[in-house]
Structure 1
Amino acid sequence: MMTPTKLKIFTGNANRPLAERIADSLGDSLGKLSVTRFPDGETSVRIEEDVRGRDVFIVQPTCHPVNENLMELLVILDAFKRSSPARITVVLPYYGYARQDRKDVGRVPITAKLVANLITAAGASRVLALDLHAAQIQGFFDIPLDHLHAAPVINEYIRKLEIPNDQLVVLSPDEGSIKRALSHQKKIGGSLAIVDKRRSTATETHQANLIGGDLRDKVAILFDDMISTAGSLVGAVNVAVQAGAREIYACATHGVLCGSAIERLKNAPIKQIIITDTIPLPPEKQLPNIKVVSVDFLVANAIKRIHHNESVSKLFE
């Protein structure tokens, strides 16, 4: 078994505050790593401490700007690969390109697989990911991947709201999220309802019907893996309003919040939007009803278990 002194957390520029909280939860400080830019924009990396024989964890979500943060991760990985650590684990709180996980039309790439290949080739020994958009992405890696879920963190926050069980309805925003909704319902109680979502184009959807569940004078709580443009979410919220819901909460692991998301959310009748800190929330995207909960303790526990060669799945039993 490795000794605790050999574990070290490093991070790039994608989400340093989260990496600092993870390191703090482990009772340590971040490793010394300099990530800068050459005048022409190229990424420059230097590890400023000895890592030979260490169990290295690199925290770097590939969020916006996606290509820059991904390239930064790859260069960091190469620097570590050439510095002889015992193992390099990439901690991906958010996996960019995850939605390009299949060929849904002809002559398109499967970029989620390409990114997996790049991370592996750059020197990663294993990956720790959080709420992948599609579970099959785990199979895109030829190295071990541990898949975490932010559900325990979000469920704990919902329970603290103390919504009476007979007043709570867990609302799945589409048919593809039913399994996730059921998982949350088992932990927080309430009944279940599903929004029938129809996709008209790659970027546009419309919500047609409500399946099951009576929302009249109830509190509806929506769960999804991410809020991107918020089109699907706001569409589901509108269905809940039309069905008579008195309060609506929206929960998601990843607050991507791109395009017209903030404008849509600002005008939507949502009491509270609960997201995690897998992606940093800049000031221009902060709304009064957005609540950010941290996954630092969850990720820190997973890192500790990986380091000591213990089961990660025990975290969700």
Structure 2
Amino acid sequence: MDFSIAAILAQDGVTTGAVYALLALALVLVFSVTRVIFIPQGEFVSYGALTLAMLQANKLPPTAVLLMALGAACLVADTAGLVRHAERRRGWPRTLALLIGRYLLFPLAVYLLAAHFSVRSLPMLAQVALTLLIVVPMGPFVYRLAYEPIAEATTLLLLIVAVAVHFAMVGLGLLMFGAEGSRTTPFSDSTLTIGSFSMTGQSLWVIVTALVLIAALYLYFDRSMQGKALRATSVNRLGARLVGIGTAQAGRLAFTLAAALGALSGVLVAPLTTIYYDSGFLIGLKGFVGAIIGGLVSYPLAAAGSVLVGLLESYSSFWASAYKEVIVFTLIIPVLLWRSFASPHVEDEEE
């Protein structure tokens, strides 16, 4: 291996590691706020990539129909609860109107917008914006249907539900997009050359976008009131509720941000590789390895661990391509052993 090959592999590793970093940050965020190990995170990657591919093919993405179905289910669930407590709530007609606007009219407007523009050629940024508008609202809808009713359950039950949601979303992905994969148009066909080192425009887009999003998330959690509320919920859920922070709203916001990071990751990675309906699971699993390195609590360590995963995967594909997945996932073992020995153990008290 000479320097040029090592540089190319490093570029590929950093590019994929940047995508894994976004997914790892989303996983850490969701787990910190809701205690959910969000296994379906990868499905938002597939949904985002394949929705963009269908828009570029001038077809109406079926995810717009799924968004309406999820919204209708959320409306039924919230309306049932509102009817049960209507006598104790004076402003229930206004609440019902807000629910109809949020869960019925908004998805319908998104569907009509997608149907109108799907047969027209849009600029790349407009296609990406429409893709995010379709996929991102699925995050809080999924939280409302699957997790909010059992928000106080054990972590094991939340994990079981996450696995069930993952299989449901994979099945829906196969039903909506079929078994054939798709690849989208690159954001840029240019190449940046510095001496003997060259970087594609798409890789530069991925790295710069990841850095901007990581910086934006840092400012959001450090400076904004909503970000501080999410941090408070992740530190002490009961304490946050006692001081007036709505934990249900915090969960919905966390899932919204996770869906946005997942869909945007799919948009970024789709020009680099062919995405199938189930490709997101493996991509999200590698982001989960990065999140494990960060202990599912540290954002900087999760991002750094994800870049390490990307580099390890890239160089493994050169030296032992048949075993690259094994090498990447084996990285979890020493990390878990180190955390097991480094963490203090509390002995159970004898009764």
TM tier relative to shorter chain: under 0.3
Bigger fraction of residues in strand: 1
Bigger fraction of residues in helix: 2
Q: How does the TM-score come out when normalised to structure 2?
A: 0.21
**Rg: which structure is higher?**
2
Q: How does the TM-score come out when normalised to structure 1?
A: 0.23
Greater relative CO (CA pairs within 8 A, separation 6+): 2
